[in-house]
Every structure is written in C-alpha cells, then in structure tokens.
C-alpha cells in the first residue's frame, strides 16, 4: 500500500494512490493524501497538481474492513476526519488540482474528485455514492458539484452510478479518453495550466473558491454529523458488518 508523489516538468505535482485491491483508503491513506497535496501546494515552483491512482479503479472510498476489525471508534473517527482533511486540502490547494479517473470512483472517491478543479476520465470510469447502503452519509456535497440537484438526490437515495460519458454531458468531466490515453490527456491539461503565469493562476484559484455558492467544507462537515448519529444508533455498524460479511461470502 503506497501513496507516492513525483514532479513532472518540475512544475506539475503528481499524487498517485495505490492501495490494492480496490484503492479503499485506510485512515492513514486519507491523511497521506492531505499531506501530499498540501506539500505540493506550498511549493512555489508547483503550478498544478494531478491526483491519480494505480490498480483496478480510482477509489472505492474508506476501508470498511479496517473500520470493522478495529476495536472502539478510533478507525471510524479517523476515517471521518481523514476524509474531511483530504477533501479540504484538495479544494483549498493554492493551485488547480486535476483528477485523473479510471474504473470505479465511489464514496470517498466522489469527495476527492468533487473537490478537484478539473476531471479527466477514462471511458471505463463510473461514479457513485453507495453510502446509504453502508449506513453512512457523506460526499453529497461533492456529488452536487458534478450533477444537477435532482440527479444527485436520486443517485444518493438509490446508490446508482453514472458513467464518465454522462458526466461529460453534464460538463463536470472535461474529457473522456481510453485508459491507455488517460495519463497523457491529463498532463496535456496540467501543462496548459502550468504554462500560465503562476501568480495569476493562484489568485484565480483563491478567487473562484471565494465565489463558490456553497461553503464546501462546512457543508460536508454538516453531512458527517448525521453519520455520527447513525453510528450512535447502531445502524451504521449493522450495515458495515453486512458489507464485510457479504464480501466474504462473495469470495
């Protein structure tokens, strides 16, 4: 399980998630994403950041198995806090962050890409928030930045997913390419941004965040409060146990 960072052209920071088998991030992984993005944003030479993943898909959310095998609430609290700081770090990164998405992007993955400034996706990419089936809430704030309100609500209530091609239609995905072309297509956009005056780009990022109609961090934190209520009621633990049990049966 790794989280790596590299520089391309000395100006583009690339953060790569690689947590087999499905890039469901453990608690440390969420904090690692936050730290990596913050470090790149603080580097005056960095002009754009790319967030990508290796493996079968971009991100499958939190590591529920880690949560269920951990005594007490430390893993639950860690995952909630970790997601919050990761999404916040991406959204508030002083330079544009580009998501390079392949395969599945689910749950916390929606929080990651919904915090980004630009999304490039492969033609096999699909997006969704299965939180209701896990006894949790969260990332509706970020899903609402990708699709219209009624579609977001329908996806949230049903757990349905949406394809990259459909998000292209809605304008939240910039480009859909084959998986073999994904990294190159993402770097084309990153290089275009990196070629601009970095002083203007950093000012533009701050300005655009300032005129956002919704306070993204506050809105997501509000959602998380309901997740804690569901945990106190025992509902979330029941649903997570069922998820882990069903996963074992599937094998």
> Along the 251 residues of the chain, how does pLDDT read in single tens digits?
799 999 999 999 999 999 999 999 999 999 999 999 999 999 999 999 999 999 999 999 998 888 888 877 888 889 999 999 999 999 999 999 999 999 999 999 999 999 999 999 999 999 999 988 888 888 999 999 999 999 999 999 999 999 999 999 999 999 999 999 999 999 999 999 999 999 999 999 999 999 999 999 999 999 989 888 887 888 877 887 887 787 643 32
Q: Is residue 187 part of a domain?
A: no
Q: Are 227 and 236 within 8 A, CB to CB?
A: yes
Q: Is residue 238 part of a domain?
A: yes
Most distant CA pair in the chain: distance in Å? 55
Q: Is residue 184 part of a domain?
A: no
Q: Is residue 219 part of a domain?
A: yes
CATH number of domain containing 142: 3.90.226.10
What is the structure's pLDDT at 88? 98
Q: Is residue 230 part of a domain?
A: yes
Q: Is residue 192 part of a domain?
A: no
Helical (H) or strand (E) element with 51: strand 48-53
Coil/strand/helix, residue 40? helix
Coil/strand/helix, residue 207? helix
What is the structure's pLDDT at 251? 25
What is the structure's pLDDT at 249? 32
Q: Is residue 23 part of a domain?
A: yes
Structural domains in the chain (count): 1
80: domain range?
2-179+198-250
Q: Is residue 186 part of a domain?
A: no
């Amino acid at each position: 399980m790794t989280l790596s960072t590299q520089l391309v052209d000395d100006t583009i920071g690339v953060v790569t998630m690689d947590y087999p088998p499905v890039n469901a991030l453990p608690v440390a992984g969420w904090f690692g994403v936050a730290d990596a993005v913050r470090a790149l944003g603080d580097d005056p030479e960095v002009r754009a950041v790319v967030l990508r993943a290796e493996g079968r898909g971009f991100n499958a959310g939190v590591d529920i198995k880690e949560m269920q095998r951990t005594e007490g609430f430390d893993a639950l609290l860690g995952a909630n806090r970790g997601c919050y700081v990761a999404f916040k770090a991406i959204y508030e990164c002083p330079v544009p962050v580009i998501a390079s998405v392949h395969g599945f992007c689910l749950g916390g993955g929606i929080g990651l890409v919904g915090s980004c400034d630009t999304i490039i996706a492969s033609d096999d990419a699909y997006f969704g928030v299965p939180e209701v089936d896990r006894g949790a809430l969260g990332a509706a704030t970020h899903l609402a930045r990708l699709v219209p309100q009624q579609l977001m609500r329908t996806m949230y209530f049903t757990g349905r997913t949406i394809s990259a091609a459909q998000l292209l239609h809605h304008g939240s995905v910039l480009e859909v390419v084959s998986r073999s072309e994904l990294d190159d297509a993402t770097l084309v956009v990153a290089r275009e941004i990196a070629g601009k005056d970095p002083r203007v780009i950093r000012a533009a990022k701050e300005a655009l965040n300032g005129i956002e109609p919704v306070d993204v961090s506050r809105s997501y934190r509000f959602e998380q409060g309901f997740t804690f209520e569901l945990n106190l009621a025992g509902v979330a633990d029941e649903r997570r146990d069922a998820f882990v049990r069903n996963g074992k049966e599937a094998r």
